[in-house]
Amino acid sequence: MKRITVLLTLLALTIGAMANRLLTPEQLAKREKRKNLTVKEWNTDSKTKTRWLDHVKVYDAQGRCIEEIEYASYGQRSRVTSTYDDTTGKVKEEVEYNDRNKPVRIRKYEWNADGTKAKQYNYLPNGKLYSIKVFEYIFSDK
């Protein structure tokens, strides 16, 4: 039993180290600053000095954006929530909501070993797959 615990601990540390290797030191520093942060963007009318909320971004304990809300004069325009894969740290799923806070689109992602997007699966709110986007990376020597 003790041997299994040690092996699982080593596996968890290795996976965590691999996930952190995909991020640059600058990205890690940015995430560190955003831990448990909420950012609100406000607009102000130059004539009437009226203020209104424009955007809200919410970050989790690891500094990853888990929710982004866009507002209009009538209230919420759209909202996107993100969930992340614990082993890779990459976005696993995004759910987009409309102005009535009803889901309108669900996106699920597959990633390449080098950290680039491989595929994006787009689903309707009822769970039916309606499209797949494949990402191709072409580098030129020009």
User: DSSP string covering 21-79, please?
Assistant: HTS-HHHHHHHHHTTT-EEEEEEE-TTT--EEEEEEEEE-TTS-EEEEEEEETTEEEEE
Sequence spans of domains, the chain: 2-134
User: In the CATH scheme, what architecture does the domain 2-134 have?
Assistant: Beta Barrel (2.40)
pLDDT 10s digits, 72-130 = 988 999 999 999 998 888 999 999 999 999 999 999 999 999 889 999 999 999 999 99
Select the more confidently predicted residue: 27 or 3: 27
pLDDT 10s digits, 14-64 = 444 444 456 788 877 877 878 889 999 999 989 998 889 999 999 999 999
